[in-house]
Amino acid sequence: MKVFVMTDVEGVAGVQDWDWTTPGKLHYAEGRELLTREVNAAVEGLLEGGATEILVCDAHGPGGIDVQLLDPRVSLQRGWPDEEWPLGLDESFDAVVWVGQHAKARTPYGHLCHTQSLHYLEETVNGVAIGEFGELAMCASELGVRSIFGSGDEAFCREAEALVPGIETAAVKRGLRADVGGDLDVDEYRRATTSAVHLHPVRARELIREGARRAVERAKNEDFGIIPLQPPFRRVVKLRRSDRRPSATFMEVEHPSSFIAVMNMWGEEQPLDE
Ligand SMILES: [Zn+2]
C-alpha cells in the first residue's frame, strides 16, 4: 500500500496559536518539531499496519516539516506541480492520510480553523461546505484514492467523519469557542480561534500511531474512503473583509465533469450581500 501523508501545523497538539506556525515568531521551530514528531508517529503506525511506501507532503505555507527529524523511511514533497491541484497526488497512491489538520473556516469549536488562508469565509462545492480536508479528499476520490485517516483537533475529526463515513481519526485537542466569527475581519478572526485544551504531545502521538495502524488494517477488509462525486461542479468561495477588501466578496466557477479542474479555476470577485 502506497500512502500520501498530507501535513499541516495548525492541527498539531501543543501548537497553540499563530506564533507556533509563523517564521520568525517565538515558537515556530517548536511547532515544526511537534508536527514532525506527529508525522513520525503516523509513519510508524502506517508501516506497522502494512504500508509499503510513504510520501510526506509539507503543505504548510512557510513549511512545517523539520527535515532532519523526519523518519528516514519516507520521501518528502515540498511545493506544487504546474496545475496546483491535486497537490502531487496521483492514481499510483492507494490512500491519503492527514496529520496536523485543522477544521474549515468558521467551524464552531475549531482551533485555528481556516481554509487556505484566514481570508476565506466559506468554500462550497455544489452547496456543501468544505475545508482543506474536503478539497484534497474530493480530488483523491476523483483519482480513486481512498481517504483513510486524519489527525487534528476534535472539530476537524468531526468534519472528516461527516464527509468520509468510516474514516479513522485521532483528536489531539479541542477548541473552546463556539462563535464562528462570520462578521469579523481577518485580524479579529485570527485572534478569535486560539483557545483550546491540548493533549500532551506524547499522548497525541500514541493516538496517532494507533489510529494510523488501525486505518491501514481496516482498509484491507472494509470499504470506506471514497466520496461519491456528482458532476457538474460549482465551486463558490466567499472572502472576508480585510485591509485588502473593505467588504466581503465572493467568486464562483464551474466545471462540467472534473472536481480537480474546478479546484484549479478562480473567477472574478464580486461584492457579497449577506
Ligand atoms: Zn491549513
105 alpha carbon – ligand 1 mean position (Å): 10
Q: What letter would DSSP give residue 18?
A: G
CA 78–ligand 1 middle distance (angstroms): 15
* 106 CA distance to ligand 1 middle (Å): 13
Grid cell in block for residue 260: 480537480
Q: What is the model's pTM?
A: 0.96
How many Å lie between the centroid of ligand 1 and the Cα of residue 133? 9
Compute CA distances 82 → 86, 88, 93, 139, whole Å: 10, 10, 19, 16
Q: How many angstroms does the Cα of residue 157 sit away from the middle of ligand 1?
A: 14
Strands 233-239 and 120-125: antiparallel
Ligand 1 centroid to residue 114 C-alpha, Å: 7
Interval between CA 221 and ligand 1 midpoint (Å): 31
- Name the strands in the sheet holding 146-153, side by side, starting at the edge strand that comes first in the sequence: 75-78, 53-58, 2-7, 95-101, 146-153, 168-175, 196-198
Task: Tell me how far the alpha carbon of residue 140 lies from the centroid of ligand 1, in angstroms.
Answer: 17
Q: How far is the CA of 115 from the centre of ligand 1 (A)?
A: 6
The answer to whether residue 266 sits within a structural domain is no
Residue 20, CB half-sphere, CA atoms under 13 Å: how many?
19
Q: Given this model, what pLDDT does residue 274 score?
A: 60
- Classify residue 193 by its DSSP letter: T
Question: Which sign does the torsion angle of CA 121, 6, 80, 69 carry?
Answer: positive
CA of 148 to the centre of ligand 1 (A): 19
3-state SS record for 145-171: CEEEEEEEEHHHHHHHHHHCCCCEEEE
Overall domain count for the chain: 1
In a domain, 268, yes or no: no
**Tens-binned pLDDT, residue by residue, of the chain (274 aa):** 999 999 999 999 999 999 999 999 999 999 999 999 999 999 999 999 999 999 999 999 999 999 999 999 999 999 999 999 999 999 999 999 999 999 999 999 999 999 998 999 999 999 999 999 999 999 999 999 999 999 999 999 999 999 999 999 999 999 999 987 777 888 888 888 999 999 999 999 999 999 999 999 999 999 999 999 999 999 999 999 888 888 999 999 999 999 999 999 999 999 998 6
**Has residue 265 been placed in a domain?**
no
| Residue indicated by cell numbers 471514497 | 226
In three-state secondary structure terms, 31 is: helix
Q: How far lies 123's CA from each of 49, 191, 225, in Å?
A: 34, 21, 21
Residues around the ion ligand 1 (C-beta < 5 A): 8, 132
Ligand 1 centroid from CA 17, angstroms: 13
The CA 224 to ligand 1 mean position distance, Å, reads 24
Quick check: 111 and 159 in contact, CB under 8 A?
no
In a domain, 74, yes or no: yes
Whether residue 39 is contained in a domain is answered as: yes
The domain in which residue 28 lies consists of: 2-231
Q: Which residues contact 87 (CB under 8 A, 6 or more apart)?
A: 6, 57, 59, 80, 81, 136, 139
CATH code for position 7: 3.40.50.10780
- Whether residue 42 contacts residue 74, with contact meaning beta carbons closer than 8 Å, is answered with no
In angstroms, what is the span from residue 10 Cα to ligand 1's centroid?
7
**Does a structural domain hold residue 100?**
yes
For residue 263, is it within any domain?
A: no
Residue 243 within a domain: no
At residue 192, the 3 state secondary structure works out as helix
